[in-house]
Amino acid sequence: MLQYQVLGRLTVTNDLGDCTPTAPMARRVLAQLLLCANNIVMLDAIIDELWGDKPPKSAVPTAQTYIYQLRRQFEPWVPDHSVEQVLATCGTGYMLRVEPEQLDLGAFFRLAKQGRTALAAGDPAAAGRLLRQALGLWSGPALADVTAGPSIQAHVVHLTEQRAHTVELRIQADAMLGRHRELVGELKAMLLADPLNEWYHAQLIKALASSGRRNESLVAYQHLRKTLSTELGLEPSEVLRELHQEVLAGRDSWTGRGVSEKYLSEQATW
């Protein structure tokens, strides 16, 4: 059975090893079909992805040739050589039929949803385990080695946001389990890459305070305030200011009451 990976480099493997297409344009077609797995991708959408608003006169037969190439490459690894059913022609479009266990993208969404459900049900241990499994499917940026046109790029942006939100939920689960010291280093590293992310700053402030490092927590808030003022001419949000007051008052247990509870609920909308 073929296995497809899009959460990193585009990869296709079979029982004997790698069988990923090497031709760049065929790879783009495959990536688009995988991102829309089990749904019809119209030929016009494939042409738009490959050439934008300047398609060549031969765009239709050329795109059809890429479909043909994918079928020929995958045919030996499809049960009963039914490749035309797996990569099916549907009117003026195509559908790549994929089973749930064949595509890492589907597994990511399933595990992330299960993790969210567990967290909402008050089971951070199960949530953390599921969310880690979901994030473990990623080996780098989605489709990192595929040139992206408008359709693929839109999907990549969406996936990047979903990955970031899953990281946030996993951090929340760890915080609920009291793993504050472990979170400090991770959050500091994340802020080096995204210094204006107020949610990460809030989690760092809480993690430091909950680790008995109240002074560092207050310094982290002042650093955020200076960064926002210098870069954007803004003050920290009301929720962050209230969080600062909690730290000043020595309320560093974050047991789900007061501002802590408010912040956890509001972060879902960020």
We report the CATH number of the domain holding residue 264 as 1.25.40.10
One DSSP character per residue, the chain reads: --EEE-SSS-EEEETTEE----SHHHHHHHHHHHHTTTS-EEHHHHHHHHHTT---TTHHHHHHHHHHHHHHHHGGGSGGG-HHHHEEEETTEEEE---GGGBHHHHHHHHHHHHHHHHHTT-HHHHHHHHHHHHHT-SSSTTTTS---HHHHHHHHHHHHHHHHHHHHHHHHHHHTT-HHHHHHHHHHHHHH-TT-HHHHHHHHHHHHHTT-HHHHHHHHHHHHHHHHHHHS-PPPHHHHHHHHHHHTT-----S-HHHHHHHHHGGG-
For helices 43-51 and 24-35, the axis angle rounded to 10 degrees is: 130
- The tally of domains found in the chain comes to 2
pLDDT reported for residue 182: 94
Domain boundary among 75, 102, 129: 102
Would residue 162 count as lying in a domain?
no
pLDDT < 50 positions in the chain: 253-270
Would residue 156 count as lying in a domain?
no
Would residue 268 count as lying in a domain?
yes
Would you tell me how many other CB atoms lie within 10 Å of the CB of residue 26? 17
Would residue 76 count as lying in a domain?
yes
Write out the residue range of the structural domain in which residue 248 sits: 180-270
0.85 exceeded by the pTM?
yes
pLDDT reported for residue 252: 56
Would residue 139 count as lying in a domain?
no
Which of 113, 106, 107 shows the shortest CA–CA distance to 34?
106
Compute the distance between CA of residue 156 and CA of residue 102 in angstroms, rounded to an integer. 19
Would residue 75 count as lying in a domain?
yes
Domain boundary among 50, 85, 102: 102
Would residue 138 count as lying in a domain?
no
pLDDT reported for residue 52: 93
Domain boundary among 45, 69, 102: 102
